[in-house]
Structure 1
Amino acid sequence: MDRPIAYDKLAREERFVRMRAREVAELKVAQGLPPFPDLSSGESIKERVHGIMVGELQAMEGAGRSVCDFPDAPWDFTMDMARQVWDESRHVEIYLRLLEHLDGYAGEYPETTILWRCACAEDAAARVAGVNRGLEGLACDVFNQLVHIARKIGDPILERAVDFVLADEITHVRMGSKWLTKLTEGDAERRRKAIEFQESIDERFNLGGVRREGDHEAVSISIATDVRRMAGFTEEEIERLIKTTQRSQVY
């Protein structure tokens, strides 16, 4: 397997259009639109769901890479990554159905590639720190907010489906915490580098302050502090994330 695999080598149907996240944001701003869907309308909710769907697709591919990339890792690690592939594939199916429910379709919006590019760390400990704790932590924020918005607008199908997926994301974060600890046991330097990689992912996906603490309807992505506690993040980690939201690079 080539490492890393370029995002344009990922298998896709012709209906998918790949673009860099920065380019998508710039085009939207030029049209007078917010750079990130703000959930203020049915169209923005559909766009958010489409973005989640392609994110789940890339998460499935990333977990599949983790099954293959680390042949010397403990067997239980490989099994956990394989279970995550199954979870993510199920999530793709769920979000494809939700797109239909929202009168949308796969390929209606561009597929950004930032998630895949963040899921290709060469070290297994860094991979689970960045993906399972960083990106899946982001998923906890995004999904928790979407559940609340769906409840407010009276869409029980969207609410229940996303809540179902959120339960899986919580287990993925816990899985990442477990393997970060096990893989770096007795190696403080490896752990430090893995956590630094996770923190770089956190800052990148703060999206220049788009993700921050606040009411679900007041910010584009609200930090799900209660869900993060449930997933096993410490108070110190949550506070650090909140503090970084005002100094993050955009895309």
Structure 2
Amino acid sequence: MTLTLTFHQMLNRLEEMAHLHRSMTQVLAGWNPKMPDLKVKLGCARHAYEHMQQAAKLEQQIAALTRTNAAIPDLLAVTRAAMQSLDARPCPTEVLTGLYKIVLPTLTQLYRDTLAALHPTCDFGTLGLLQPYEGVLAEQRMWGEAMVRHHGGTTTPYLQALQSALESRYVGPRCQRQEWLWAPLDRVSEAVRPDFLKRAIPGAMRLTPVDRWEDLKGIGLAMHNQLHGEYTTMELTSRNLYEHPEMPTKFHLDMARQAADEARHAIMFEELAEAYGVRIDDYPTYTLTYDGYYAYPEMCEPNSQKELLWRLLIRGTVDEGLALDDLLFQINMRQLLQQDDIVARLHYVLVDETFHVQAALHWVRYLCAGDQARVMDEREVARQYVDTLLRKRRHLYEQMYPDEVAQELSTQQRLRAAIAKRPPLPFERYLNIEHRKLSGYADEELDQVVQWGYGQPPPANPVEEAV
């Protein structure tokens, strides 16, 4: 069999694929909090991670093939400009249509043409990289086209121009790899939600069931409460990826993976809530952990690495660390109650959250140039800032909604009374030292959590004295 593609032509194909995957990730991640449809958000997160993974693998293959004497190919500037223009469109449905009806078919055809031209012996490694992904592209395209039909996506003059640009992409100037991605085109200070969901009033207490352990509706509400944080963390992590193209590829992989994990968790908790008779629109939706964590006015410049650092510190190393503690307690409690359907899912979530904290700790240290003292100081200042924000929101709510506050306090009294009547548990609630250590917390960071009053480590096992 003769070689259909020259070595350099094959590299150009791989480079083009890698860029289309990477720019698909960029658009999907940047648009995640702006998409009104919750199912679209979840799909965008999953597909962004799939594209980011494949882009990284292709870049590794290109690096391996160009390690000695081959120059890394340049990218066609038309493709980059087309993807940036799609990101800039104002309509979610038009963006969705462009991604899944134009860009993805273009990428799929590029795969088909390249696979047909590769040599089974010379290009063995590249074949092994591309062939399995054809099925992924087909699944993405089927899902995307269904979403476009559901939202009434139609051809627009812009989409026709996008199609023409991609069809003529081999003519014109080229750009280098450092020009692959574009600076963020917008700021998204509030996560979009569909109209049928009622948003909670800022400062209101989250609805807490009096019995979240055995009452069916109470369990459903407990699961409902947990899914909100999965959505907001998915959205915030997606924007972390989108707003910082200057960060290393590994950072983008970690953020894309976390967003995809949070999407899975949201599905898990919504399914559990529905199994216990609670639908997502039965109670208010909370977006504090996106809206309140997105920006830090007067403390961090917008789109700065300090702003990114604070997001990772608060959501990634404070809140997610507390999630490790809470998940372990929930697992122990629901095992005691023999709620195996919930326990099985919580184990998956705990494993994922351990990785998320590990990634956050790695990147806050990276952003602080390995200065652990600065990590500790920045975390302390950021936590105090958020605590002050929450107190102000609560104070304003108490002034504006006195009747609702009285009802909240009554619920809290009933909750405390119910807890007092509960039989003693065979275990206590402690810091989850095992998973916190596995994630990479240093001893001084665990001490910091204790100093805040967020929990205590479990007592050391007494050492039996030799008789």
TM bucket, shorter chain: 0.7 to 0.9
The SS at the match of 1:112 is coil
Counterpart residue type for residue 165 of structure 1: V
Pick from 324, 339, 342 the counterpart of residue 140 of structure 1. Answer: 324
Question: 1:212 — aligned with what?
Answer: none
Q: Cα distance 1:45–1:228, how it changes in 2: closer, same or farther (>3 A)?
A: farther
How far apart in 1 are the matches of 2:425 and 2:320? 22
Report the equivalent of 1:6: 189
1:238 CA drift (Å)? 2.3
The answer on 1:62 being equivalent to 2:236 is yes
Question: What residue number does 2:205 align with?
Answer: 24
Specify whether residues 144 and 60 from structure 1 end up closer, same or farther in structure 2 by C-alpha distance, changes over 3 A only: same
Q: Establish whether residue 244 from structure 1 lines up as the match of residue 452 from structure 2.
A: yes
- Residues 11 and 199 (structure 1), Cα distance of their counterparts in 2 relative to 1, 3 Å cut: closer
Moved more, 67-76 or 180-189: 180-189
Give 1:192 deviation, angstroms: 5.7
| Distance in 1, Cα, partners of 2:282 & 2:352 | 26
Do the aligned partners of residues 160 and 124 (structure 1) sit closer, same or farther apart at CA in structure 2, a change above 3 Å counting?
same
One-letter amino acid matched to 2:238 = G
1:104 aligned onto 2:288: no
1:89 and 2:263 aligned: yes
Contact residue 64 and residue 81 of structure 1 kept, 8 A? yes
Q: Residue 165 of structure 1 aligns with which residue?
A: 349
CA gap 1:88/1:63 in 2 versus in 1, 3 angstroms: same
Match of 1:71, SS? coil
1:127-172 deviation per Cα after TM superposition (whole angstroms, max 9, x unaligned): 2222211221122122222212211111101001011111000000
Structure 1: which 5+ residue stretches go unaligned? Answer: 29-34, 208-215, 247-251
Residue pair 2:220, 2:274 contacting (<8 A) in 1 also:
no
Aligned to 1:115: 289
| Match of residue 440 from structure 2 | 232
Q: Deviations over 1:74-133 (max 9, x none)?
A: 222112111111111111111111112222211222222221134314522222222211
Aligned 8 A contact 2:331 2:346 in 1: yes
1:147–1:162 CA contact under 8 A, matched in 2: yes
2:212 is the counterpart of 1:39: yes
Mark the CA change 1:156 to 1:201 in structure 2 (over 3 Å): closer, same or farther.
Answer: farther
TM-score (norm: length of structure 1): 0.76
**Partner letter of residue 23 of structure 1?**
A
> How far, CA to CA, are the matches of 1:173 and 1:36 in structure 2?
28
Q: Counterpart in 1 of 2:163?
A: none
Normalising by structure 2, report the TM-score. Answer: 0.43
Q: Once structures 1 and 2 are overlaid, which stretch shifts more, 166-175 or 74-83?
A: 74-83
* TM-superposed deviation, 1:47: 1.9
The 8 Å contact of residues 202 and 241 in structure 1, kept in 2 or not, is answered as no
Secondary structure of the structure 2 residue equivalent to 1:172: helix
Closer, same or farther: CA 184–39 of 1 in aligned 2, 3 Å: same
* Amino acid in the other structure paired with 2:293: A
Percent of aligned positions that are identical? 23
Distance in 1 between the 2:192 and 2:385 partners? 24
The amino acid that maps onto 1:228 is R
Give distance in 1, aligned partners of 2:210 and 2:354.
23
**What amino acid sits opposite 2:432 in the alignment?**
A
Q: Is the 8 A contact 1:118 1:201 kept in 2?
A: no
Secondary structure in 2 matching 1:120: coil
Question: CA shift at 1:187, angstroms?
Answer: 6.6
Partner of 1:213: none
Structure 1 residues 201 and 187 mapped into 2: Cα distance closer, same or farther (>3 Å)? Answer: same
| Whole-angstrom distance in 2 between the partners of 1:130 and 1:202 | 8
Provide the C-alpha distance between the structure 2 equivalents of 1:101 and 1:68, rounded to a whole number of angstroms.
35
2:330 aligned with 1:156:
no
Q: 2:359 aligns with which of 163, 168, 175?
A: 175
Partner of 1:78: 252
1:237–1:230 Cα change, 3 Å: same
C-alpha distance in structure 1 between counterparts of 2:381 and 2:263, whole Å: 25
SS of alignment partner, residue 57 of structure 1: helix
Farther off after superposition, 70-79 or 38-47: 38-47
Which structure is higher in RCO with an 8 Å CA cutoff and minimum separation 6?
1
Amino acid at match of 2:251: F
Match of 2:61?
Answer: none
Q: What whole-Å deviation, never above 9, does each CA across 1:179-225 have from its counterpart, x for those lacking one? A: 11112216789646642355348868x99xxxxxxxx9699x85433
- Structure 2: where are the runs of 5+ without partners? 1-184, 296-301, 392-423, 455-467
Partner Cα separation in structure 1 for residue 196 and residue 379 of structure 2: 37
Whole-Å Cα distance in 2 between the matches of residues 118 and 156 of structure 1? 35
Larger Rg: 2
